[in-house]
């Protein structure tokens, strides 16, 4: 995963989860070309109620995610949505000549379907990863506690 953190926010606290999620999403979505993923800071954007959260650039094969004033889970959900667009692009289903200005998902039936797919598949991919991650973390924690209890008895 090619991550560029161009933000003032330190994403080190979630980098392990981002890497784990990315591997899961790449396997789930089956894309073979890795996008460049940028995490950026834009204070002005973060103050807007309807500011940008993320976008995909099909010409550059890049995902940009805004990070200011956002919960880490929301950042990851935005990444998941944009990775679906990346998959669509890799499959040749994004038309670079079509406009993605305001209203594009209401005015163009093909782009509306593309957007629906990104919402559904992106959210479900993230949800499936999250549930598995939590389950694996709980199992790991139980094993560590059991190991600690066993080693304490023999020391």
Domain coordinates of the chain in residue numbers? 2-154
Contacts of 95 (CB under 8 A, 6+ apart): 110
Q: How far is CA 126 from CA 79, 85, 93, 122, in A?
A: 9, 14, 22, 6
87 has a pLDDT exceeding 90 = yes
Beta pairing, strands 54-57 & 62-66: antiparallel
Contacts of 51 (CB under 8 A, 6+ apart): 42, 45, 66
Q: What is the pLDDT of residues 16-52, one digit of tens each?
A: 899 999 999 999 999 999 999 999 989 899 999 999 9
Helix (H, G, I), strand (E, B) or coil at 62: strand
Terminal CA-CA length for the chain? 43
Of residues 139 and 83, more confidence is placed in 83
Q: Which of the 8 DSSP states describes residue 82?
A: H
CA 79 – CA 123 distance, rounded (Å): 10
- Using a pLDDT cut of 90, give the percent of the chain over it: 59
Contacts of 45 (CB under 8 A, 6+ apart): 51, 52, 66, 68
Beta bridge partners of 65: 39, 54
Burial status of residue 103 (CB atoms within 10 A of its CB: 0-12, 13-18, 19 or more): exposed
In this prediction, residues 82-103 reach a mean pLDDT of 82
Q: Whole-model pTM?
A: 0.81
What is the reported pLDDT for 113? 94
CA 45 – CA 42 distance, rounded (Å): 5
């Amino acid at each position: 995963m090619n991550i560029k953190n161009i933000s003032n926010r330190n994403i080190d606290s979630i980098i392990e989860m981002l890497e784990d999620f990315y591997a899961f999403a790449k396997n789930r979505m089956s894309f073979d070309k890795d996008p460049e993923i940028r995490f950026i800071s834009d204070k002005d954007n973060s103050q807007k109620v309807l500011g940008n959260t993320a976008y995909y650039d099909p010409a550059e094969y890049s995902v940009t995610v805004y990070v200011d004033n956002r919960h880490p889970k929301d950042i990851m959900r935005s990444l998941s949505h944009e990775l679906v667009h990346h998959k669509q692009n890799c499959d040749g289903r994004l038309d670079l000549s079509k406009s993605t200005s305001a209203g594009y998902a209401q005015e163009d039936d093909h782009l509306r379907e593309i957007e629906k797919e990104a919402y559904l598949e992106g959210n479900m991919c993230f949800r499936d990863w999250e549930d598995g991650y939590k389950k694996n973390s709980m199992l790991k924690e139980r094993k560590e506690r059991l190991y600690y209890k066993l080693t304490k008895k023999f020391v």
